[in-house]
Amino acid sequence: KNIDLLRKRATVSASEAREGKISDWLFVGLIILLLVGLAVGAAVVSVFLLMLIASQLSKLAG
């Protein structure tokens, strides 16, 4: 019973596989946006911390 269900769901035509459901593409797009946002956020925090450290070092030096 389970094997038949797996075979039915696992065998799709090439056009069906390329098509995908709109919800699938929305999910993938959301994940990509979250990852890009995470990368941009990490870069912004890194630059902020580097600028903070640089300003503290310049105060110490002079």
Tell me: the pLDDT tens digits for 28-58? 999 999 999 999 999 999 999 999 999 999 9
Residue 27: CB atoms within 10 Å: 11
> Does residue 14 lie within any of the structural domains?
no
Q: In whole angstroms, what is the distance from residue 5 CA to residue 1 CA?
A: 6
> Does residue 62 lie within any of the structural domains?
yes
* Residue carrying structure tokens 């030096």: 61
Domain boundaries, position 26: 21-62
> Does residue 54 lie within any of the structural domains?
yes
Residue-averaged pLDDT of the chain: 89
Q: Is the pTM of this model over 0.75?
A: no
Reported confidence tier of residue 13, pLDDT bands at 50, 70, 90: confident
Total domains in the chain come to 1
> Does residue 33 lie within any of the structural domains?
yes
Q: Output the 3-class SS for the chain.
A: CHHHHHHHHHCCCHHHHHHCCHHHHHHHHHHHHHHHHHHHHHHHHHHHHHHHHHHHHHHHHC
> Does residue 46 lie within any of the structural domains?
yes
> Does residue 35 lie within any of the structural domains?
yes
> Does residue 61 lie within any of the structural domains?
yes
